[in-house]
């Protein structure tokens, strides 16, 4: 049976990209870009380096009071009762609220929409094609707690300290239940069950690909190599703890929520739905966001609680998570188990791939992105004719998982790249040569992989060769010998990757031309990616004006009317596309305004290089002259000439690249030093190389962190999370990271006007694979090591000693 991953209209057309290219014509050819492609210094920085940023907790309102949550110490327990009477007697306590109070006010659930839904996302379902059961998500539960740290009550007091003291005095009567946290254990038929609506904990069970041809290929293959991998549970750790400030205006009946997130517009709709009010009654403000990495994209319960309590108490209510709350209850990431097998012929050609992916969604299903995103990429950068994939997701008594930097893609990259290293080792191939033999070739682009993903463009072999050059792969052998002479074990890690950037398909831009400058209002939500700079570069070039004349406005839903937020590397691509369309409309509008203003034939007006000219007049006017003419022409233009443009773009892009690293292990201690790290990343058109390099650097650190230090470890005896502070959760730090050599490859994507792919996640995608590949290479003399992530010195030391005794 052939079950296509994709449910799409134009999948089989010869060139799905042609219509888009025709529809969106750039107002100037790329060779005339003045600002695009330059490392323009950021507009964001001046406020951030002088202490004038506007992060959520920086806002304070007159009369504000403070909320603190009462959190479950149990991984799984029935809530038999909550006694708030002692807390209510405490100094300064204004109110103590439980799920029953919210229910009495008719508050709804957070309406998570976990199944990715663009035309090109995989169609995950429950067993037998049934809808995915996602679990209830009320702001405070009434029946039971399902993970340690789940909030069961909120205390509001005059000061934060009083609220903390009040929370200590809330008496919750719990009846502990059996629990399960481990991903594989949670799938057992007799595992403790989280949701009564399901017969077990498995909420997604779908099979994709070509089962028959995959089976045939495996049956006839000269070699089959298999592996089981687990990319464990980590969390985003934005340095700004999540925070929320709620306000209610009784006169207008409007709520205001100050809360940094991955998209204010989304939060506005989610929170108004929880409160049961129309979206116009909810304003969300999200200006500077101190890191997101995906784990802030979905609504947190505190967002709803502070606005609800603000109305209840008639005073603004503020919440700020402390760091241990962030470790326990920020959305987490990864936690995907893969069992993967590769069929290979006698000449080293890959024939088919079979994978079973299991995603741990935690206590509620907030997002299936980690499972879905990887599902379309299981064959990686390689031409593998047939594949089948069994995708499952499971509930467990842990915090919910959500997209975390390069959601789902490091997991499948790890599986295919580590499997190829293993195949090379076991079958006696050079690991680079085996990859080279099987890479998708530029002549095959656009290339539809065995599970239906259509790779838009890319030069994979060229990336690999360039990487080997800048990483001095040829010199590695000598460096290895030198290290050995010093008693150290040097290892080289290598990985290729391809990833997809999809994301919410709709974006809106308001383009406003005024005599003093141009404003673009757009609904993406940066958390350090520099949209105020890179979007201004695009706008400036397309209009033909100076970069300094453009201002980008984001983050206040009273100004930003629509927008998809920032995730999946979507922002630059979607913003540049919708801005291109808005500029095209604005040029048409400008021609009409000039014609009307000078009383000439509109057809005689031409636009070129930032100026309008007419054969019917000797006037040449720029955009700012035009705005002045427009204001004189009609009061409609009093606040500038405005264009609102919406765009819907489903077609994904496939950033790709190659990555290598060099490590040195001290066999006496198992200690590891990261010596070199080099990448080549095809990001499509690079708008601002300074920003893109920075994204790659940060992405590398997060991927390396997962491989070497990070982990949301749960004690198998008690179910207690053990990482609740920076003392317990290993972070990439100044002194454990190297400098990087990063190179940008620009293979222009044919899918969108500027040819953008994405640059935010490529640093992370291959990083766990490349680090573990290096560790394996360093330890080969001790036999193929069995080291799990995070690869701590103890694990490495143990592997060395096991190898010695074997």
In the sheet that holds 671-682, the strands lie side by side as: 489-498, 656-666, 671-682, 741-745
3-state secondary structure of 801: helix
Only one of the segments 43-51, 193-201, 422-430, 495-503 lies at the binding site for other proteins (rule: CB under 8 A); that segment is 43-51
Q: How far is the CB of 56 from other proteins (least distance, A)?
A: 11
Only one of the segments 14-22, 236-244, 508-516, 644-652 lies at the binding site for other proteins (rule: CB under 8 A); that segment is 236-244
Element (H, E) at 272: helix 264-275
C-beta separation of 420 from 429 below 8 A: no
Residue/partner pairs of 186-194 with CB below 8 Å, 24 or more apart: 186/360, 186/394, 186/395, 186/396, 187/358, 187/392, 187/394, 192/76, 192/397, 194/76, 194/135, 194/146, 194/363, 194/395, 194/396, 194/397
Q: How far is the CB of 298 from other proteins (least distance, A)?
A: 19
User: Residue 667 or residue 698: which is nearer to other proteins going by CB?
Assistant: 698
Q: Which residues pair with 545 in a beta bridge?
A: none
By CB under 8 A, what part of segment 529-568 binds other proteins?
A: 529-530
Q: How many C-beta neighbours within 10 Å does residue 372 have?
A: 29
Q: How far is the CB of 692 from other proteins (least distance, A)?
A: 8
x/- string (CB under 8 A) for other proteins, residues 475-514?
Answer: ----------------------------------------
Only one of the segments 245-253, 316-324, 454-462, 591-599 lies at the binding site for other proteins (rule: CB under 8 A); that segment is 316-324
Measured distance CA(69)–CA(303) in Å, rounded: 12
Q: Using CB under 8 A, which of 527, 595, 687, 769 touches other proteins?
A: 527
Q: How far is the CB of 468 from other proteins (least distance, A)?
A: 12
**Per rule CB under 8 A, is residue 53 in the interface with other proteins?**
yes
User: Residue 98 or residue 292: which is nearer to other proteins going by CB?
Assistant: 292
Q: How far is the CB of 556 from other proteins (least distance, A)?
A: 18
Measured distance CA(301)–CA(752) in Å, rounded: 37
Q: Using CB under 8 A, which of 16, 17, 33, 42 touches other proteins?
A: 42
The residue whose two tokens read 């006839």 is 220
User: Residue 655 or residue 694: which is nearer to other proteins going by CB?
Assistant: 694
Q: Using CB under 8 A, which of 312, 323, 390, 479 touches other proteins?
A: 323
Closest CA to 524 of 364, 700, 758: 758
Angle (CA) 515 521 526, round 5°: 130
Measured distance CA(643)–CA(343) in Å, rounded: 55
User: Residue 121 or residue 247: which is nearer to other proteins going by CB?
Assistant: 247
Q: Using CB under 8 A, which of 31, 618, 739, 805 touches other proteins?
A: 739
Q: How far is the CB of 321 from other proteins (least distance, A)?
A: 10
Is the sign of the CA dihedral 151, 153, 158, 160 positive or negative?
negative
Q: Which residues pair with 455 in a beta bridge?
A: 447
Measured distance CA(661)–CA(709) in Å, rounded: 17
Q: How far is the CB of 412 from other proteins (least distance, A)?
A: 23
x/- string (CB under 8 A) for other proteins, residues 142-181?
Answer: -------------------x--------------------
Element (H, E) at 642: strand 641-648
Q: Using CB under 8 A, which of 75, 135, 694, 768 touches other proteins?
A: 694
Packing angle, helices 460-470 and 431-438, rounded to 10: 160
Q: Write a three-state SS string for 122-170.
A: CCCCCHHHCCCCCCCCCCCCCCEECCCCCEEEEEEECCHHHHHHHHHHC
Only one of the segments 175-183, 351-359, 490-498, 741-749 lies at the binding site for other proteins (rule: CB under 8 A); that segment is 741-749
User: Residue 326 or residue 773: which is nearer to other proteins going by CB?
Assistant: 326
User: Residue 479 or residue 697: which is nearer to other proteins going by CB?
Assistant: 697
How many CA atoms within 13 Å lie on the side-chain side of 40? 25
Element (H, E) at 426: helix 409-427
**Per rule CB under 8 A, is residue 333 in the interface with other proteins?**
no
Q: Using CB under 8 A, which of 21, 30, 55, 383 touches other proteins?
A: 55
C-beta separation of 540 from 550 below 8 A: yes
Q: Using CB under 8 A, which of 239, 485, 632, 638 touches other proteins?
A: 239
Only one of the segments 50-58, 167-175, 199-207, 374-382 lies at the binding site for other proteins (rule: CB under 8 A); that segment is 50-58
Q: How far is the CB of 291 from other proteins (least distance, A)?
A: 5
Q: How many C-beta neighbours within 10 Å does residue 130 have?
A: 11
Q: What is the DSSP letter of 41?
A: P
Only one of the segments 38-46, 103-111, 388-396, 479-487 lies at the binding site for other proteins (rule: CB under 8 A); that segment is 38-46
**Residues near 546 by beta carbon (within 8 Å), at least 6 away in sequence:** 540
Q: How far is the CB of 492 from other proteins (least distance, A)?
A: 18
By CB under 8 A, what part of segment 755-794 binds other proteins?
A: 763
**Per rule CB under 8 A, is residue 693 in the interface with other proteins?**
yes
**Per rule CB under 8 A, is residue 592 in the interface with other proteins?**
no
**Residues near 70 by beta carbon (within 8 Å), at least 6 away in sequence:** 151, 152, 153, 154, 155, 167, 170, 172
Distance separating the N- and C-terminal Cα atoms of the chain = 46
User: Residue 32 or residue 41: which is nearer to other proteins going by CB?
Assistant: 41
- How would you label 742-778 residue by residue, b for 16+ Cβ within 10 Å and e otherwise? bbbbbbbbbbbbbbbbbbbbbbbbbbbbbbbbbbbbb
Q: Using CB under 8 A, which of 427, 616, 633, 737 touches other proteins?
A: 737
Q: Using CB under 8 A, which of 110, 353, 686, 723 touches other proteins?
A: 686
Q: Using CB under 8 A, which of 3, 588, 741, 748 touches other proteins?
A: 741
x/- string (CB under 8 A) for other proteins, residues 695-734?
Answer: x-xxxxxx----------------------xxx---xxxx
10 Å CB burial of residue 276 (0-12, 13-18, 19+) is exposed
Q: What is the DSSP letter of 805?
A: H
User: Residue 221 or residue 575: which is nearer to other proteins going by CB?
Assistant: 575
Only one of the segments 69-77, 142-150, 289-297, 407-415 lies at the binding site for other proteins (rule: CB under 8 A); that segment is 289-297
**Per rule CB under 8 A, is residue 58 in the interface with other proteins?**
yes
Element (H, E) at 279: none
Q: Using CB under 8 A, which of 744, 772, 778, 789 touches other proteins?
A: 744
By CB under 8 A, what part of segment 90-149 binds other proteins?
A: none
Measured distance CA(703)–CA(681) in Å, rounded: 15
- Residues that contact other proteins, how many (by CB under 8 A): 68
**Residues near 178 by beta carbon (within 8 Å), at least 6 away in sequence:** 76, 192
Residues lying near other proteins in the complex (CB under 8 A): 39, 41-42, 44-53, 55, 57-58, 60, 161, 236-241, 288-293, 320, 322-324, 470, 527-530, 686, 689-691, 693-695, 697-702, 725-727, 731-735, 737, 739-744, 763
């Amino acid at each position: 049976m052939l079950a296509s991953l994709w449910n799409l209209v134009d999948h089989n057309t010869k060139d799905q990209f042609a219509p888009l290219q025709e529809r969106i014509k750039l107002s100037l050819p790329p060779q005339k870009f003045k600002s695009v492609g330059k490392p323009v210094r950021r507009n964001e920085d001046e406020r951030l380096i002088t202490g004038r940023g506007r992060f959520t907790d920086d806002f304070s309102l007159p009369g504000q009071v403070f909320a603190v949550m009462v959190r479950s110490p149990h991984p799984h327990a029935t809530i038999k009762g909550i006694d708030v009477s002692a807390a209510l007697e405490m100094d300064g306590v204004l109110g103590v609220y439980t799920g029953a109070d919210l229910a009495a006010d008719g508050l709804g659930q957070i309406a998570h929409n976990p199944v990715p839904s663009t035309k090109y996302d995989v169609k995950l379902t429950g067993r037998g094609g049934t809808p995915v059961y996602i679990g209830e998500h009320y702001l405070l539960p009434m029946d039971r707690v399902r993970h340690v740290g789940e909030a069961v009550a909120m205390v509001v007091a005059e000061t934060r300290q009083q609220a903390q003291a009040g929370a200590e005095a809330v008496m919750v009567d719990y009846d502990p239940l059996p629990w399960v946290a481990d991903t594989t254990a949670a799938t057992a038929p007799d595992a403790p069950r989280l949701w009564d609506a399901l017969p077990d904990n498995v909420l997604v069970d779908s099979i994709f690909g070509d089962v028959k041809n995959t089976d045939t290929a495996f049956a006839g293959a000269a070699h089959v190599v298999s592996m089981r991998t687990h990319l464990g549970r980590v969390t985003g750790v934005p340095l700004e703890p999540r925070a929320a400030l709620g306000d209610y205006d009784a006169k207008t009946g409007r709520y205001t929520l100050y809360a940094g997130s991955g998209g204010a517009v989304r939060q506005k709709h989610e929170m108004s739905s929880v409160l049961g009010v129309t979206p116009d009654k909810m304003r969300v403000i999200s200006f500077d966001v101190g890191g997101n990495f995906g784990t802030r994209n979905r609504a947190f319960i505190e967002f709803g609680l502070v606005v609800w309590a603000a109305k209840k108490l008639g005073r603004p209510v503020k919440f700020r998570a402390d760091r241990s709350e962030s470790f326990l209850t920020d959305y987490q990431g990864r936690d995907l188990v893969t069992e993967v097998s590769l069929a290979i012929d006698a000449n080293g050609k890959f024939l088919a791939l079979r994978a079973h992916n299991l995603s741990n969604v935690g206590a509620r299903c907030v997002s299936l992105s980690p499972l879905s995103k990887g599902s379309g990429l299981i064959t990686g950068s390689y031409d593998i004719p047939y594949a089948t994939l069994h995708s499952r997701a499971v509930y467990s008594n842990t915090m919910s998982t959500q997209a975390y930097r390069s959601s789902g893609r490091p997991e499948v990259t790890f599986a295919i790249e580590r499997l190829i290293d293993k195949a090379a080792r076991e079958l006696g191939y050079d690991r680079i040569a085996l990859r080279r033999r099987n890479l998708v070739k530029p002549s095959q682009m656009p290339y539809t992989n065995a599970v239906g993903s259509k790779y838009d463009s890319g030069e994979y072999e060229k990336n690999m060769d360039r990487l080997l050059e800048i990483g001095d792969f040829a010199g590695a052998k000598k460096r290895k010998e030198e290290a050995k002479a010093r008693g150290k074990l040097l290892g080289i890690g290598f990985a290729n990757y391809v990833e997809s950037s999809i994301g919410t398909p709709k974006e809106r831009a308001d383009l406003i031309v005024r005599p003093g400058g141009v404003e673009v209002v757009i609904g993406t939500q940066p958390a350090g990616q520099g949209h105020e700079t890179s979007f201004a570069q695009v706008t400036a070039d397309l209009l033909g004006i100076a970069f300094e004349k453009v201002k980008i406005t984001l983050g206040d839903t009273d100004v930003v009317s629509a927008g998809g937020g920032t995730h999946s590397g979507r922002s630059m691509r979607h913003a540049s596309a919708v801005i291109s369309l808005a500029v095209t409309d604005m040029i048409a509008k400008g021609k009409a305004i000039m014609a009307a203003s000078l009383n000439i034939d509109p057809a005689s007006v031409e636009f070129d290089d930032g100026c309008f000219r007419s054969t019917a007049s000797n006037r040449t006017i720029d955009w700012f002259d035009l705005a002045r003419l427009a204001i004189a022409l009609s009061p409609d233009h009093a606040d500038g000439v405005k264009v609102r443009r919406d765009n819907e773009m489903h077609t994904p892009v496939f950033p790709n690249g190659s990555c290598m690293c060099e490590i040195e292990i001290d066999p006496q201690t198992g200690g590891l030093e990261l010596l070199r790290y080099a990448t080549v990343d095809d990001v499509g058109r690079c708008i601002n190389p300074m920003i893109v390099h920075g994204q790659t650097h940060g992405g590398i650190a997060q991927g390396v962190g997962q491989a070497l230090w990070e982990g949301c470890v749960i004690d198998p005896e008690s179910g207690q999370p053990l990482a609740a502070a920076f003392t317990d959760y290993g972070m990439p730090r100044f002194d454990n990271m190297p400098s990087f050599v990063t190179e940008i490859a620009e293979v222009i994507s044919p899918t969108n006007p500027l040819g953008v792919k994405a640059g935010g996640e490529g640093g992370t995608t291959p990083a766990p694979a490349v680090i573990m590949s290096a560790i394996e290479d360093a330890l080969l003399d001790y036999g193929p090591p069995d080291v799990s992530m995070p690869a701590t010195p103890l694990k490495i030391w143990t592997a060395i000693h096991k190898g010695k005794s074997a």
